[in-house]
């Protein structure tokens, strides 16, 4: 102990508690620093403890009197994995973080301390888990099938669907982990018991409805944000990095090199549309965004809900819309997203107020134009309808019934009798 350390101890001045040995008696107010931005827990008791892996800490200076304790060394396999490109990071304060079991128990998340625990939970050998969760700059075997589907508003949407074996792994991971991650009560997309009807219900009969859209919602949730989220929720760095890589993928282009076909990444790894874990991860990452926007809406007298990348506000005073839009843009940028300004809509009571295909002027339901289309489709069925056309009409009636049972019943009365 140095001279100044002796003086500070005599005066009762002590440094803040800091756990470097993995002990569990650290003050709960100690929080993890230098983690990737991922929108972690917000309440003081939901902040993870700093617990470090001694094998990765700087070596202690030798002492003359006391013999230095010999640290346990890493195996060759552990060292090769930890310092591989998949787990590489510039932030050394994150690399050596161990898991915080107390934090994981508080949140009801599975206790996975290392990759062996994750592999056992998923029913995989550790080697297979690492093969799926390894980022390669030259991939000879791709695990995703990429195709494009047309958008309703024009253009194409890129879908990256995992192949069968990886899809089964991701579905199991979704059940074990992703569905248990904290999600805002204002999120209505990709959640059991929620739908476009519950998303639109709080906005019925309001004087003004404001609809906004996030640009590139899934690609904005990149591997670093997911890794940071899992670290903030209590997982160690190696587990968080493995899971983040497993649940993301980068867009790739085929390249022929000396007769060998490689698939080279042309962007960063991110949540892809088509993976079973992507919707739940995106909902978890935007937890802080949802809470900030809900607080802003409450302060201005608005209601707020979100369905995937669609943000909806409604309130009684159209005069506050300008202030709302200004603050929403600022908050969205601070949270690492971007608004699609061309899709922003301000709908007043005198015009049609539609949210995700649902009209909310006086009550939930389909617009008059949509109901006319269904009536025309019923009329075209005739006395002996085609089975395919009949199934499509019944599907549209079921959709109408979910939104407004009275509207659907009036349309159902026009159906031909069998």
SS (H, E, C) 19-35: ECCCCCCCCCCCCCCCC
Enumerate residues 6+ apart whose C-beta is below 8 A from 54.
20, 21, 22, 71, 72
In tens digits, the chain (418 residues) has pLDDT values of 444 454 344 444 444 433 333 332 323 232 233 233 333 444 555 578 888 887 777 766 666 555 555 556 777 777 778 778 788 777 777 888 889 999 999 999 999 999 999 999 999 999 999 999 998 888 888 899 998 888 877 778 889 999 999 999 999 999 999 999 999 999 999 999 999 999 999 999 999 999 999 999 999 999 999 999 999 999 999 999 999 999 999 999 999 988 899 999 998 999 999 999 999 999 999 999 999 999 999 999 999 999 999 999 999 999 999 999 999 999 999 999 999 999 999 999 989 899 988 999 888 888 888 889 999 988 888 777 888 888 999 999 998 888 888 888 998 888 887 6
Contact indicator for 269, 250 with CB cutoff of 8 Å:
yes
DSSP character for 114?
S
- 226: closest CA among 158, 272, 293? 272
Alpha helices in 177-277 (DSSP H): 196-200, 217-220, 223-232, 237-246
What are the structure tokens assigned to 208, written together?
Answer: 């003004």
């Amino acid at each position: 102990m140095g001279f100044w350390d002796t003086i500070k101890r005599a005066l009762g001045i002590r440094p803040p508690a800091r756990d470097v040995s993995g002990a569990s008696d650290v003050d709960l107010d100690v929080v993890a620093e230098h983690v990737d931005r991922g929108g972690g827990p917000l309440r003081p008791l939901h902040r993870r403890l700093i617990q470090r892996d001694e094998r990765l800490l700087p070596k202690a200076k030798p002492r003359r009197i006391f013999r230095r304790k010999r640290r346990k060394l890493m195996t060759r396999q552990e060292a090769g994995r930890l310092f591989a490109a998949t787990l590489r990071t510039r932030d050394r304060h994150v690399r050596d973080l161990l898991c915080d079991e107390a934090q994981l128990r508080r949140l009801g998340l599975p206790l996975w301390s290392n990759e062996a625990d994750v592999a056992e939970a998923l029913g995989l050998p550790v080697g297979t888990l690492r093969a799926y969760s390894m980022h390669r700059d030259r991939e000879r075997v791709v695990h995703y099938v990429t195709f494009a589907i047309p958008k309703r508003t024009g253009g194409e949407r890129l879908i990256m669907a995992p192949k069968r074996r990886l899809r089964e792994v991701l579905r199991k991971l979704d059940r074990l982990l992703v569905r248990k991650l904290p999600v805002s009560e204002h999120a209505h997309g990709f959640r059991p018991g929620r739908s476009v009807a519950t998303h639109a219900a709080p906005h019925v009969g309001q004087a003004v409805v404001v609809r906004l859209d996030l640009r590139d919602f899934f690609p904005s949730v990149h591997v670093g944000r997911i890794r940071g989220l899992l670290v903030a929720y209590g997982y160690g760095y190696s587990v968080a990095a493995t899971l983040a890589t497993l649940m993301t993928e980068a867009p790739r282009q085929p390249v022929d090199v000396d007769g060998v076909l490689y698939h080279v990444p042309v962007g960063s790894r991110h949540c892809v549309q088509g993976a079973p874990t992507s919707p739940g991860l995106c909902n978890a990452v935007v937890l802080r965004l949802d809470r900030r926007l809900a607080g802003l809406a409450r302060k201005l007298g608005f209601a707020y809900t979100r369905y995937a990348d669609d943000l909806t506000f409604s309130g009684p005073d159209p005069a506050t819309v300008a202030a709302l839009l200004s603050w929403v843009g600022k908050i969205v940028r601070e949270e690492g997203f971007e608004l699609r300004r061309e899709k922003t809509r301000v709908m007043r009571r005198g015009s049609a107020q539609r949210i995700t295909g649902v009209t909310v002027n006086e009550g939930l339901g389909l617009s008059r134009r949509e109901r006319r289309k269904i009536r025309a489709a019923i009329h075209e069925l005739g006395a002996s309808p085609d089975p395919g056309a009949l199934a499509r009409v019944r599907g549209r009636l079921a959709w109408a019934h979910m939104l407004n049972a009275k509207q659907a019943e009036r349309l159902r009365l026009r159906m031909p009798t069998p």
